[in-house]
Amino acid sequence: MTKSEPLLLKHTEYEIEHRLAERYCPPEWAFLPQVGSGPGTHYRRTADGIAMNLWPSRGMELHGFEIKVARNDWIRELKDPEKSVAVQKYCNRWWIVAPKGVVADGELPPTWGLLEPTGKSGLKVVTAAPELEDPKRLSRTFVAAVLRQATKVTTPQAKLDDEYMRGKREGTEAAELRIKYANDQADELQRKIDEFQEKSGVSINCWDVGRIGDAVRQVLRGVDVVGALKVERKHLGMLIERVDKTIENLENENALL
């Protein structure tokens, strides 16, 4: 294992795809990931991404991208150079996007450019992609494939809007549940208050002889005093029985003398 290989684990195809979308973003660019060479039965190959320049002053070029995050995937690509032709033939420039160490020196085909991830979210040009000669006129099948993919992908702003609406909806639902729970708790508390007032004859809101809590505490203390007196009465009864027994025994002994 070389020292550069562990660095490759930091990048995934999805993460690099996101970097491409950030680099080739509106208003100058339109980026689409995973574009096939044609829809349905016309499908042959898929590019990991394409980007169309939208400014006439910049030539409105079409760029294609292949993402490779492991060296063995890159080696397979080199062994099958015709794989990329199905989409590459429509492009003005073609790029390999790969972490440092995937593409070794001298391996890059002369008609391809190389982009490498840099920093937390950027891409840097290692080798500029040359302008390809005589790209083919866009076929209806390829345009259909592009439009088909475009219907599956939303713009970053649309995604933010969707997430905002989803968060707002979920927040509203959570708030409604909390309000319902609070109302249920309030209803249950009111039911218990009504039951207490009905059985006690005391209105909590209008009772003006001290605080209701103090009254309840005094009642509970009274119940405790009565219980304690009953216990003491039982003990006194047992003591009286023992005294009576002792007196009886003493009287019997005196009678014998």
Looking at residues 140-166, what average pLDDT do you find?
Answer: 74
More confident of the two residues 7 and 69: 69
Residues 98 and 75: beta-carbon distance below 8 Å: no
**Is 238's pLDDT higher than 60?**
yes
Give me 49's structure tokens. 């991404």
CA atoms of 198 and 5, how far apart (whole Å) = 79
Angle at 66 between CA 140 and CA 4, to 5 degrees: 175
**Is 22's pLDDT higher than 90?**
yes
Res 2: pLDDT: 45
Alpha helices in the chain (DSSP H): 5-8, 13-23, 71-79, 85-88, 140-150, 156-200, 212-256
Res 236: pLDDT: 81
Looking at residues 178-205, what average pLDDT do you find?
Answer: 80
CA atoms of 32 and 145, how far apart (whole Å) = 11
Q: What confidence tens digit (pLDDT) does each residue in 63-95 have?
A: 999 999 999 999 999 988 788 898 999 999 999
**Is 208's pLDDT higher than 70?**
no
* Burial zone of 107 (CB within 10 Å; 0-12 exposed, 13-18 middle, 19+ buried): middle
Q: Place 163 in a pLDDT band, splitting at 50, 70 and 90.
A: low
End-to-end CA gap in the chain: 118
Give me 95's structure tokens. 């790029």
Res 204: pLDDT: 67
Looking at residues 118-143, what average pLDDT do you find?
Answer: 92
SS3 98: coil
Mean pLDDT of the chain: 82
Give me 133's structure tokens. 């000669």
**Of 231, 4, 16, 255, which is closest to residue 117 (Cα–Cα)?**
16
Which residues lie below 8 Å from residue 15, measured CB to CB, with a gap of 6+? 117
Percent of the chain beyond pLDDT 70?
Answer: 79
More confident of the two residues 157 and 53: 53
Partner residues linked to 52 by β-bridges: 30, 62
Res 171: pLDDT: 79
Most confident segment among 19-33, 40-54, 70-84: 19-33
DSSP 8-state secondary structure symbol assigned to residue 37: S
CA atoms of 253 and 247, how far apart (whole Å) = 10
